[in-house]
Amino acid sequence: MLFDSHSHIDSKKFDKDRDLVIARAKNNDVSFVMNPGADYESSVAAVALAEKHDFIYAAVGVHPHDALTMDDMMLSLLKSMARKPKVKAIGEIGLDYYYDHSPRDVQQYWFREQLRMAKSLKMPVIIHDRDANNDVLSILKEEGSFETGVLMHCFSGSKELARQYVKLGAYISIAGPVTFKNARKSVEVVEEVPLDRLMIETDAPYLTPMPFRGKRNEPMYVRHVAEKIAEIKNVSFEDVAAITMNNAKKYFGI
């Protein structure tokens, strides 16, 4: 039984066959899916999906790409939404210095505001970090976010950075890129991080694992991430599935 800890099944890319995608997940041993928001609209959609399906849960938040859309009213609306029973985290939030769709100072301001909101609600966070390692770590420390829970989604940093996060009590989530032929960095992270600090995810519809790379990703493919971790750590698939399931359920309070 598998827990896809990060999947955007509210995405427009699933509009034509969302119900089929959800059914395929259930039929392929995916027992739980966490669907995080990326902006206000997708947060609303994530909550609606979670309320419709018993095995889907939601997180609400605004991605750094959309930091320019945020204001105090939106923050207040997100906080109200976060109190709904099927909402288990604040996310996907963080910093993205690769695309810089929003100015860095604006990204940082709303990242901090959402971290403070999570802390006030005693909720864990789902973190996006792209080419912003130092600032993300510094801000998480300054805001005391490790006290309520930090999950580094689709971790792409070094094994040394992963080691720092684990020491601080964070969880590291591994996605499809670990299955790619050139995935040396991701493989090193899996070797470094203890199984009791790992989660697995698809980040569907993006980052499709081998052997389906190039096609749209979906939750049932999370199995391939678990299989690769089992291979790297020389443990059984069943152990990886059970431990990452337990980690995610504990983290999200399910």
Could you give the count of Cα atoms lying within 13 Å of 250 in the half-sphere of its Cβ?
15
How confident is the model at residue 74, as a pLDDT? 97
CA 108 → CA 14, 64, 73, 105, 234, distances in Å?
31, 8, 18, 5, 40
Q: How far apart are CA 23 and CA 31, in angstroms?
A: 11
Q: Which CATH number fits domain 2-252: 3.40.50.10800, 3.60.20.10, 3.20.20.140, 3.20.20.220?
A: 3.20.20.140
- For the chain, how many residues are written? 254
How confident is the model at residue 2, as a pLDDT? 98
CA 204 → CA 42, 51, 91, 197, 218, distances in Å?
14, 20, 15, 22, 5
How confident is the model at residue 16, as a pLDDT? 97
- Stated pTM of the model: 0.97
- CB-CB contact of 166 with 136 (8 Å): no
Residue 173 has φ and ψ, to the nearest 5°, of -105, 135
CB 174: neighbour CB atoms within 10 A? 29
**Residue pLDDT, tens place only, 79-89:** 999 999 999 99
Q: If DSSP codes are grouped into helix, strand and coil, which group holds residue 32?
A: strand
- Amino acid symbol at 239: D
Q: If DSSP codes are grouped into helix, strand and coil, which group holds residue 125?
A: strand
Residue 67 has φ and ψ, to the nearest 5°, of -55, -30
- CB-CB contact of 59 with 91 (8 Å): yes
Q: How far apart are CA 7 and CA 126, in angstroms?
A: 12
**So where are the chain's domains?**
2-252
- Amino acid symbol at 223: R
- Amino acid symbol at 22: I
Q: How far apart are CA 137 and CA 218, in angstroms?
A: 30
Token output for 225 = 């991430």
How confident is the model at residue 148, as a pLDDT? 97
Q: Kindly give the parts of the chain with pLDDT less than 70.
A: none
- Amino acid symbol at 140: L
- CB-CB contact of 12 with 38 (8 Å): no
- CB-CB contact of 210 with 177 (8 Å): no
DSSP code at position 203: -
**Residue pLDDT, tens place only, 153-197:** 999 999 999 999 999 999 999 999 999 998 999 999 999 999 999
Q: How far apart are CA 195 and CA 107, in angstroms?
A: 32
Q: What is the dihedral of CA 223, 228, 232, 235, to 10 degrees?
A: 30
How confident is the model at residue 180, as a pLDDT? 96
How confident is the model at residue 248, as a pLDDT? 98
Token output for 150 = 């930090």
